[in-house]
Amino acid sequence: MKTKILNALEAKRGEYLSGEELAESLGVSRAAVWKAVESLRKEGHKISASTNKGYMLETVSDILTEKGISSHLKPGSHVSRVICLGEIDSTNSYAKKLALSGGIHGTLIAANHQTAGRGRRGHTFESPAGTGLYMSLILKPDADISRFQMITIADAVAVCLAVEDLYPKARGKLGIKWVNDVFMNGRKICGILTEAVTGFESGEIESVITGIGINVSTKKFSPEASGIAGTIFTEGGLAFGRDELCARVADYVMDFAEDLGSPAVIQAYRERSLLTGHDVTFMRGDERMSGHVEGIDDTGGLIVRDPSGNIEALRSGEVFMIRTEETGS
């Protein structure tokens, strides 16, 4: 019934539909319509109500702009500059070049479309126009280089918290597959690629680029990606715009970067860890290993117990959950 009401409102997004009309077409009482609308609102759908006119699904602006993103940043945000691009090969590549030519800590680059979005291990990240959020941040955190891996952990938590804030319906449905893939309802909705930028002269890591790609309403994926990729909004309208999501994610990442590896962030990560309690396989050199995931340690490592009972913490690499079939990203 809620879905039917949402679909009816979606078909006339931006226009009012009377409660009576809705009730009649669905064969329910007006009170039942009101109750369902209230419940949809609690899930995050922006529905206006007017005594005379009825209910209307608001038009959420989903145009990504510098102004829109900036207007959603919190007061005192650590995001120092916002650059929004219509189309770019990759926001990470753009951010890298910018970092090398003086781009400052907290610079946010967002794009509506990436023509050559990059994923980990040389994979591409499908980045169609208008339906996803592709963003990168330049970070020059005042922290030991060894803590830079915590940025990826921070990103994954930032994405979960931002989506949960803006879309209460997603609460309890988001999970993180170590180390940095965010899943919703069993499908990967977000990938994260963090890269170090080394100064030409110093040869040292001068900044870190952290890139986040989120499938907000992307419904079509290539055959290679369609087995695992998913999207936040699979049906109905958007409950939030990409500019708001972008600002919220960036604010969380920048706040977490102030105190990399804070216990609160690790705890938030642990609570959403999808691999904990599962059997997994992973590669050590050329050897395929198996083990049981005990949890996440204080530095974001994956604690695995091997069949002989030895415990080790994995720091990087790909881990596959053992189910009836193996899944990975």
Scanning residues 193 to 222, which ones bind ligand BTN (CB under 6 A)?
A: 193, 211-213
Residues 123-142 that bind ligand BTN (CB under 6 A): 123, 125, 134-136
d(CA 189, CA 290): 26
What is the DSSP annotation of 42-99? HTT--EEEETTTEEEE--------HHHHHHHSPTT-S--EEEEES-BS-HHHHHHHHH
Q: Considering the complex, what minimum distance in angstroms separates the CB of residue 75 from ligand BTN? A: 26
Q: How far is the CB of 46 from ligand BTN (least distance, A)?
A: 26
110 binds ligand BTN (CB under 6 A): no
- List C-alpha distances in Å: 305 to 176, 289, 311, 321: 20, 11, 4, 14
- Using Cβ positions, the residue closest to ligand BTN within the complex turns out to be 191
Instruction: Tell me if residue 147 falls in helix, strand or coil.
Output: helix
| Minimum separation from the CB atom of position 126 to ligand BTN (A) | 9
For ligand BTN, the closer of residues 14 and 130 by Cβ is 130
How many CB atoms neighbour CB 163 within 10 A? Answer: 28
Which C-beta is closer to ligand BTN: that of 36 or that of 88? 88
CA distances in angstroms from 3 to 25, 33, 43, 163, 263, listed in the order given: 14, 11, 12, 21, 39
CB 13 within 8 A of CB 57: yes
Q: Rounded to an integer, what distance in angstroms lies between the CA atom of residue 246 and that of residue 64?
A: 9
Which residue among 54, 106, 191, 301 contacts ligand BTN (CB under 6 A)? 191
Closest CA to 109 of 142, 86, 77, 141: 86
Examine residue 230 and tell whether it contacts ligand BTN (CB under 6 A): no
**Which one, 128 or 295, has the nearer CB to ligand BTN?**
128
Q: Give the nearest distance from C-beta 31 to ligand BTN in angstroms.
A: 45
Segment contacting ligand BTN (CB under 6 A): 52-60, 90-98, 229-237, 290-298?
Answer: 90-98
Is residue 117 at the binding interface for ligand BTN, with CB under 6 A as the rule? Answer: yes
Residues near ligand BTN (CB under 6 A), total = 20
Which tokens sit at 197? 């930028």
> Judged by CB, which is closer to ligand BTN: 119, or 168?
119
Interface residue list for ligand BTN (CB under 6 A):
90-92, 114, 117-120, 123, 125, 134-136, 191-193, 211-213, 329
